[in-house]
C-alpha cells in the first residue's frame, strides 16, 4: 500500500514535547489527512494527539488483537445524530512492533483519494473536533482474515477507487469515501472471501443486510456542496432519494451496528479524550 512521504511541518514545536515515547508513535510514518493549510501545528495539539495515541496504544497492548478498528471525531456531525466521523484499521506486524493505522484519505482540495499507513500519533494529528475515540475489536477469525488482507497491498488497492466523495453511496462504485473503503475490506474479512472487484463486496453487503445511515441534506446544501467542494458528489445516489434529500452513506455508526450484528463477539470500547490533568503532568 502506498505510504505518502510528505511530512507536515514541525515548526513551532518545543523540542521537549517530542519524548522518546512520542518518537515511537511517530516513527516511520507519514503525515496524512492534513487540511490545505500549511499553518504550523500548535504544541497543545501535538501534546493532546500523542497522549490520545498513547491511551489507545495501552488499550491495544492490553488486548493484543491481530487487527482492530479505530474511529475518531474529525468533525462535528451532531446535526446528523452522529459522533465519530472516520474509521481505520490498526494492526502490527509482530508483538514487538509499533501499531500502524491503515486507511483511505481524501487528497487535499481534490476529488481523489489515496491509501495511507501511518503511526497512531499521526492519526490524531489532524484538525480533530474531539480527541475521543472508539476501539472496535472483531472476533478472532475475522481478525485473522483482516490481518492477511492488510499484509497484501494488492488486495487493499483492489478495493480502492481514487474517485472520492464525502457522501458516497454505499451500493455504487462511482465514488468512494474513507469509511466505504474500510467497509468493503471488512466485508472480505467477515465473509471469508477475497472479492475481485468492489461491486462483489457491495453485493455481499446487501445480502448480509448492511444498512447505511440516512442523512437529511436539503437541496441548497447539496447544490452548495457540489459547486464549492470538489470532494462532494451526489450523482451516485438514486434519483428519488436524492430529490427527497435522503442521502444514504457509510458512517462509523452504521459500520459498528453491522459488525456487532454479524459478529456478536465484537468488542466496542470508547476511549475518552485525555484529561487536562494528564496533559499538564507531562509538561
Q: What is the mean pLDDT of the chain?
A: 83
Q: What residue ranges do the domains of the chain occupy?
A: 15-281
- Report how far residue 184's alpha carbon sits from residue 200's, in angstroms, rounded to the nearest whole number: 9
pLDDT value, residue 189: 97
Give the per-residue pLDDT at 25: 42
Q: Which tops the pLDDT comparison, 136 or 17?
A: 136
- In SS3 terms, the chain reads as CCCCCCCCCCCCCCHHHCCHHHHHHHCCCCCCCCCCCCCCCCHHHHHHHHHHHHHHHHHHHHHCCCEEEEEEECCCCHHHCCCCCEEEEEECCCCCCCCEEEEEEECCCCCEEEEEEEEHHHHCCCCCCEEEEEEEECCHHHHHHHHHHHCCHHHHHHCCCCEECCCCCCCCCCCECHHHHHHHHHHHHHHCCCCCCHHHHHHHHHHCCCCCEEEECCHHHHHHHHHHCCCCCCCCCCHHHHHCCEEEECCHHHHHHHHHHHCCCCEEEEECCCCHHHHHHCC
Interval 145-168: pLDDT, tens: 999 999 999 999 999 999 999 999
pLDDT in tens, 101-135: 999 999 887 889 999 999 999 999 877 899 999 99
User: What confidence tens digit (pLDDT) does each residue in 219-258 have?
Assistant: 544 444 443 356 888 899 999 998 888 999 999 999 999 9
Amino acid at each position: 500500500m502506498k505510504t505518502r512521504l510528505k511530512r507536515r511541518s514541525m515548526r513551532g514545536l518545543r523540542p521537549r514535547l517530542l519524548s522518546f515515547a512520542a518518537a515511537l508513535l511517530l516513527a516511520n510514518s507519514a503525515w496524512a489527512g492534513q487540511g490545505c493549510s500549511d499553518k504550523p501545528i500548535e504544541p497543545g495539539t501535538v501534546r493532546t494527539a500523542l497522549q490520545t495515541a498513547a491511551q489507545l496504544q495501552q488499550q491495544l497492548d492490553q488486548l493484543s488483537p491481530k487487527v482492530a478498528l479505530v474511529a475518531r471525531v474529525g468533525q462535528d456531525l451532531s446535526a446528523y445524530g452522529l459522533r465519530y466521523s472516520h474509521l481505520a484499521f490498526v494492526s502490527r506486524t509482530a508483538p514487538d512492533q509499533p501499531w500502524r493505522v491503515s486507511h483511505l484519505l481524501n487528497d487535499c482540495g481534490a476529488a481523489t483519494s489515496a491509501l495511507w499507513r501511518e503511526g497512531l500519533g499521526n492519526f490524531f494529528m489532524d484538525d480533530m473536533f474531539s480527541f475521543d475515540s472508539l476501539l472496535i475489536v472483531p472476533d478472532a477469525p475475522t481478525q485473522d482474515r483482516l490481518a492477511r488482507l492488510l499484509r497484501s497491498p494488492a488486495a487493499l488497492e483492489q478495493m480502492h477507487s481514487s474517485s472520492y466523495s464525502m457522501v458516497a453511496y454505499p451500493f455504487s462504485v462511482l465514488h468512494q469515501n474513507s469509511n466505504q473503503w474500510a467497509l468493503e475490506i471488512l466485508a472480505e474479512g467477515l465473509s471469508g472471501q477475497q472479492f475481485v472487484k468492489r461491486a462483489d463486496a457491495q453485493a455481499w453487503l446487501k445480502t448480509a443486510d448492511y444498512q447505511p445511515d440516512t442523512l437529511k441534506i436539503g437541496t441548497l446544501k447539496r447544490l452548495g456542496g457540489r459547486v464549492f467542494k470538489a470532494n462532494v458528489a451526489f450523482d451516485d445516489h438514486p434519483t428519488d432519494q436524492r430529490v427527497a434529500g435522503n442521502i444514504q452513506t457509510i458512517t462509523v455508526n452504521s459500520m459498528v451496528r453491522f459488525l456487532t450484528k454479524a459478529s456478536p463477539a465484537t468488542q466496542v470500547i470508547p476511549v475518552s479524550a485525555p484529561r487536562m490533568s494528564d496533559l499538564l503532568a507531562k509538561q
